[in-house]
């Protein structure tokens, strides 16, 4: 009987070898013939795609230069729009270049993109030199950044750049197609730029000029009719995600090993976000987890003011004490001019210095009752003052509707291994930390507010082992302990505040049992960053238990195939039966479980 079972499994192994092509892949179903390539652009002249375009998975698309969908002009003024649909499993590659020779895909105002991948078959934007089928090719987190542009979405939702509330997006050579915002009479907070879902954006961030790079995903004036969900920015040369005004809501965002801020908002952004994951490498120029802003100093005091709400985030910084390039990543969260915001239910670990900064350029420390002195000379401090520039110098959100920015609060955040802690002794030039335990409590006692609750320093139980920043290390697990502070700390119910949010019984981006980032749609999964012990029956490490795991074990035991990973457990994934060995009994055990309702495998 055993010999018959082995023979059947070998047949399955042979059959599956011809069917189990990865998705996406650069090869046709035979696994040998490369897919045809479609070149879009010549690297010199911009390409403007109009009407309906459809990119399919049996072709690899090469972008050479600036590729626009639509012309960016309002339709009622003679503009021409376009709609781009991209199938699951499609690979889009960008040519290298900088400045005018950079390559990027730009969805212009009034146009739409429907890039809808799946958990098992994502859409991948990457560099021309990247071999998507080989996780070891361009798999180093520190080096391969800025190899092409990336993806830019532009819409006509409100932004705060007077007098006409329009702007041209950064990172692109100025031209008539890159306007965003509503031009006052055209603005629409519910503007729809399409759907971006299960998309991995890799190695982007071409340099246009000094301090002017393209973000992983750039959103300029994007409205809340747009769907952004399950999007990864991997090894980008600037911010992972940046919102320039707009109202778009986003879920399940991953910013991995990017070179500047994780999540950056400007120009009156007022959307929502939930389930955000940030992990940085140890040597690049990474800066803040959140950088919160409203606009340049020239527009200070002009609404709409930024006020985003972010729930459920998990972040791992460059390492406590590792200040990196030029002392970067000094503060995990940085508030700048005219911005409010709600940051709630988060886990933040391994940031090199302090927790918070409220940037103050004129050293107005201590002037809690005087906006007239500080605000006229300090654009950054207006976030704490009335819109008139006079009155009590206090953060908004303590019951006074006259403040320029309504609401700044951070609730239920677990901090772990901060390099220098929560507070700093004083203000020095541009380095001002909100003294959470001093200034906020003083303000509360003076003006009847409440101190931000549930700021906890404690171990959340997330796991990052030796060399976890290296691909193939299988040493990262962002799921918190089910018995730790992520579950025991009081925290607000996101869904009770707004039905768009999901209720969670935990703090952070992940539950104790579900790592939604450890799925085939992410580069982090494909390149082997995560531990492989979600279940010891998952021998292949793809996050599922099915016949492929029995096939994987047979190939390992009898044909010298790849051994199952062992992460933190003896014999790990391969020991489905839990007897401390990896042998044919484990394949039999899996067959019984999959086809005959046998006992589920488990980790020791």
What residue has token string 């950079």? 102
pLDDT at 311: 97
pLDDT at 29: 93
The model's pTM: 0.83
Residues in the chain, overall count: 604
Distances (CA, A) of 543 to 374, 423, 478, 521, 569: 55, 41, 15, 11, 17
Measured over the CA atoms of residue 136, residue 141, residue 146 and residue 151, the dihedral's sign is positive
3-state secondary structure at position 252: strand
383 CB neighbour count, 10 Å cutoff:
28
**For residues 183 and 180, what is the distance between their CA atoms, to the nearest angstrom?**
8
- Give CA 547 to chain center in angstroms: 33
- Whether the ω angle into residue 155 lies within 30 degrees of 0, i.e. cis, is no
Contacts of 488 (CB under 8 A, 6+ apart): none
Tokens linked to 154: 């532009």
**For residues 13 and 36, what is the distance between their CA atoms, to the nearest angstrom?**
28
**Contact present, 53 and 588 (Cβ < 8 Å):** no
pLDDT at 44: 93
pLDDT at 406: 43
Query: If one looks up domain 2-24+532-596 in CATH, what number appears?
Result: 1.10.1330.10
- Exposed / middle / buried, residue 130 (Cβ in 10 Å: 0-12, 13-18, 19+): buried
- Give CA 242 to chain center in angstroms: 10
Beta-strand relationship, 476-477 and 331-335: unpaired
Distances (CA, A) of 165 to 86, 109, 191, 296: 31, 14, 15, 14
DSSP assignment string, 47-87: EEE-EEEEE-TTSEEEE-SEEEES-SS-GGGT---EEEEE-
Contacts of 270 (CB under 8 A, 6+ apart): 158, 246, 247, 304, 306, 307, 308
Measure the CA angle with vertex 23, ends 554 and 523; round to 5°: 95
Instruction: Return the CA Rg of the chain.
Output: 25
**For residues 291 and 334, what is the distance between their CA atoms, to the nearest angstrom?**
5
Mean pLDDT by 10 residues, the chain (604 residues): 54 46 91 97 96 97 97 94 98 91 95 97 96 81 82 96 88 91 93 98 80 85 98 92 96 93 92 96 80 73 81 92 68 78 91 74 49 50 44 37 52 87 44 36 39 78 88 89 93 94 98 91 93 68 76 84 58 68 83 80 56
Q: Domain boundaries in the chain?
A: 2-24+532-596
Q: At what angle do helices 547-559 and 2-19 cross, to 10 degrees?
A: 110
pLDDT at 570: 42
């Amino acid at each position: 009987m055993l010999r018959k079972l082995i023979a059947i499994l070998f047949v399955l192994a042979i059959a599956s070898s011809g069917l189990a092509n990865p998705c996406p892949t650069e090869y046709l179903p035979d696994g040998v013939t490369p897919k045809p390539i479609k070149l879009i652009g010549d690297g010199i002249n911009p390409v403007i795609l109009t009407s309906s375009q459809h990119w399919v998975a049996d072709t690899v698309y090469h972008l050479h230069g600036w590729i626009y969908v639509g012309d960016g002009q309002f339709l009622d003024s003679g503009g021409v729009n376009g709609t781009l649909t991209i199938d699951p499993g499609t690979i889009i590659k960008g040519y290298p270049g900088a400045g005018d020779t950079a390559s990027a895909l730009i969805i212009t105002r009034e146009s739409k993109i429907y890039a809808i991948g799946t958990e098992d078959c994502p859409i991948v934007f990457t560099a021309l030199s990247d071999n998507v089928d080989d996780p070891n090719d361009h798999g180093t987190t520190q080096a391969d950044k800025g190899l092409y542009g990336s993806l830019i979405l532009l819409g006509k939702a409100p932004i705060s750049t007077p007098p006409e509330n329009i702007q041209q997006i950064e990172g692109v050579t100025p031209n008539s197609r890159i306007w965003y915002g509503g031009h006052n009479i055209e603005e629409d907070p519910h503007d729809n730029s399409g759907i971006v879902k299960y998309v991995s954006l890799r190695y982007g961030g071409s340099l246009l000029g000094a301090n002017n790079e393209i973000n992983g995903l750039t959103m300029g004036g994007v409205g809340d009719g747009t769907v952004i969900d399950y999007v990864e920015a991997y090894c980008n040369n600037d911010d992972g995600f940046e919102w320039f005004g707009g109202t778009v809501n986003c879920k399940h965002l991953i910013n991995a090993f990017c070179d500047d801020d994780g999540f950056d908002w400007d120009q009156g952004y007022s959307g929502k976000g939930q389930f955000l994951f940030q992990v940085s490498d140890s040597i690049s120029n990474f800066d803040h987890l959140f950088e919160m802003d409203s606009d340049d100093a020239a527009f200070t005091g002009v609404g709409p003011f930024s006020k985003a709400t972010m729930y459920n985030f998990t972040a791992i910084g460059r390492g406590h004490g590792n200040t990196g390039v030029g002392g970067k990543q000094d503060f995990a969260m940085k508030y700048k001019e005219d911005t409010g915001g709600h940051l709630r239910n988060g886990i933040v670990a391994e940031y090199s210095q302090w927790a918070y900064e409220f940037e103050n350029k004129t050293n107005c420390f201590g002037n809690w009752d005087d906006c007239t002195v500080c605000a006229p000379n300090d654009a950054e401090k207006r976030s704490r003052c009335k819109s008139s520039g006079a009155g009590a110098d206090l953060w908004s959100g303590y019951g006074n509707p006259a403040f320029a920015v309504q609401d700044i609060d951070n609730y239920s955040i677990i901090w772990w291994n901060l390099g220098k802690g929560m507070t700093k002794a004083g203000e020095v030039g541009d380095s001002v930390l909100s003294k959470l335990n001093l200034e906020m409590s003083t303000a509360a006692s003076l003006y009847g507010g409440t101190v931000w609750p549930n700021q906890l320093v404690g171990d959340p139980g997330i796991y990052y082992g030796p060399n976890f920043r290296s691909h193939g290390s299988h040493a990262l697990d962002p799921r918190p302990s089910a018995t730790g502070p992520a579950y025991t700390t009081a925290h607000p119910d996101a869904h009770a505040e707004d039905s768009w949010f999901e209720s969670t019984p935990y703090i952070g981006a992940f539950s104790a049992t579900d790592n939604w980032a450890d799925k085939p749609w992410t580069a982090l999964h494909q390149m082997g960053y995560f531990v492989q012990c979600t279940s010891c029956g998952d021998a292949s490490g793809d996050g599922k238990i099915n016949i492929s795991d029995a096939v994987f074990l047979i190939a390992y035991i009898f044909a010298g195939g790849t051994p199952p990973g062992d992460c933190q457990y003896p014999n790990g994934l391969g020991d489905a039966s839990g007897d401390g060995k990896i042998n044919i009994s484990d394949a039999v055990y899996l067959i019984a479980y999959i086809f005959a309702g046998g006992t589920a495998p488990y980790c020791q």
